[in-house]
Amino acid sequence: MSSQIQGPGIFLAQFAGDGARFNSLASIAKWAGDLGYVGVQIPTWDGRLFDLKKAASSKGYCDEVKGVCAEAGVAVTELSSHLQGQLVAVHPAYDSQFDGFAPKEVHGNPKARQAWAVDQVKMAAKASRHMGLKASVSFTGALAFPYLYPWPQRPAGLVEEAFSELGRRWKPILDVYEDAGVDLGYEIHPGEDVFDGTTFEMFLDAVGGHRRCTINYDPSHFVLQQLDYLAFIDIYHERISAFHVKDAEFNPTGRQGVYSGYAGWKERAGRFRSLGDGQVDFGGIFSKLTQYGYDRWAVLEWECCIKSPEQGAAEGAPFIASHLIEVTGKAFDDFAGAKPDRKALRQVMGIE
């Protein structure tokens, strides 16, 4: 019997580079396949690996991409538009930093940058349809995040207006995903206005409960917030369309806690780690997702502050594979059962 959850997959964004093994889709897919991965999540902003504009307009090109991956022994799990999604909504405080996510011709022009980003995320929907994919993954962006901690007190209505505006910007994009038959899984992530369950519900309300508004589940961000990531699955499992397998740890001290005192990654109380090196209960996660019928991909996202990406990637495939659960077709006590007998059942209950 095959596993209900598909995998192991790997997100290529953190590994792509100018080196020969990592500067083309063919070479990086072969590298991933050789490590034991059977799926790759492709960052659509990296032209060395993928031409998003061409993919949105040409199914033939998408077939070529799938063929390149198949030759390496991997399938495409999802297309990622995280960086472009981030630019759908940017608070001015972050303008100069986020310009780096966009082409030079829109730098210094927030409206042009946003229009470019919206077009990019819409193209990811069309490309996903051409690839025959069920989901794509992204970020929501943020307008209210600089006001996360209410001091000075937030102006009345600021959060409500921020989410109303997010809804106005994302609803037409989600309609494109509906037309394409593709879910858009938002990564629930600090730095986005949608960073936990409460904010996801606010966003979902703002887009009218859109059925394509779903979740890219990543427990590492919940560990750093001290959120119950297993209960999150119980609450939101019907909306989970993608899964980033990433580990983390939270070790508060007498000097720092969740906010980590502006420390660098290695010195923070909350740190991202390679799989198995952190505190995430992946056994519990894979069990719950399987229990609720999640049948899509488990994709490694590597962001460890200590271990090298090469070692993290090499260890990630067997780690994920070891957590995949083959769904049983039996109950453990089937051997002791018998076909229902109404007369016998009534006798057991003492009914004449």
226-255: pLDDT as tens digits? 999 999 999 999 999 999 999 999 999 999
According to the model, what pLDDT value does residue 2 have? 54
- Would you state the pLDDT for residue 270? 97
For 317, the token pair is: 């495939």
Cα-based angle 131, 294, 65 (whole degrees, multiple of 5): 15
187 is a domain residue: yes
Is a pLDDT exceeding 80 seen at residue 320?
A: yes
d(CA 250, CA 268): 8
- Report the C-alpha gap between 87 and 177 in whole angstroms: 18
| 123 located within any domain | yes
Q: What's the pLDDT band for 74 if we cut at 50, 70, 90?
A: very high
Q: Across-strand partners of 11?
A: 41
pLDDT of residue 335: 63
pLDDT at residue number 212: 98
User: Mind listing the pLDDT tens digit for each residue in 119-156?
Assistant: 999 999 999 999 999 999 999 999 999 999 999 999 99
**Does position 279 have pLDDT exceeding 80, yes or no?**
yes
Residue 334: pLDDT band by 50, 70, 90 thresholds?
A: low
Where do the H-state alpha helices sit in 80-196?
82-86, 95-98, 110-131, 158-180
Share of the chain above pLDDT 70, in %: 97
Q: What pLDDT is stored for residue 338 in this prediction?
A: 72
CA pair distance 310, 92, nearest whole angstrom: 36
Find the mean pLDDT for residues 155-164.
Answer: 98
Q: What share of the chain is helix, strand, coil (3-state, %, to 5)?
A: 45, 15, 40
Q: For 203-213, write each residue's pLDDT tens digit.
A: 999 999 999 99
Backbone phi and psi for residue 45, each to the nearest 5 degrees, phi listed first: -85, -10
> How far apart are alpha carbons 43 and 299 in whole angstroms?
13
pLDDT of residue 333: 67
Q: How far apart are the first and last CA of the chain?
A: 45
Instruction: Give a yes or no: residue 1 inside a domain.
Output: no
CB-based contact 137:216 (threshold 8 Å): yes
CATH number for the domain spanning 213: value is 3.20.20.150
Whether residue 187 is predicted with pLDDT greater than 70 in this model: the reply is yes
Residues 138, 191 contacting (CB under 8 angstroms): no
DSSP assignment of 54-101, as one string? HHHH-HHHHHHHHHHHHHTT-EEEEEE-HHHHHTTSB-GGGHHHHGGG
User: Residue 266: what residue type?
Assistant: K
Say if residue 146 is preceded by a cis peptide, omega within 30 of 0. Answer: no
| Strand partners for 75 | 39
Does residue 150 lie within any of the structural domains?
Answer: yes
Backbone angles phi, psi at 149, to 5 degrees: -95, 120
pLDDT bracket for residue 329 (50, 70, 90) = confident
Residue 163 CB burial class (10 angstroms; 0-12, 13-18, ≥19): buried
Of 26, 28, 33, which Cα lies nearest the Cα of 15?
28
Domain that holds residue 232: 6-348
Other Cβ atoms within 10 Å of 162 Cβ, number: 21
What pLDDT, on a 0 to 100 scale, did the predictor assign at position 317?
98
165 has a pLDDT exceeding 80: yes
- The total number of structural domains in the chain stands at 1
Tokens of 266: 């290695």
Nearest to 54, CA basis, from 106, 116, 126, 137: 126
Q: What percent of the chain is predicted at pLDDT more than 90?
A: 93
Supply the mean pLDDT for the chain: 96
3-class secondary structure per residue, 202-242: HHHHHCCCCCCEEEEECHHHHHHHCCCHHHHHHHHHHHEEE
pLDDT at residue 339 is higher than 90: no
CB neighbours of 176 closer than 8 A, spacing ≥ 6? 122, 125, 126
Confidence band of 1 (pLDDT split at 50, 70, 90): very low
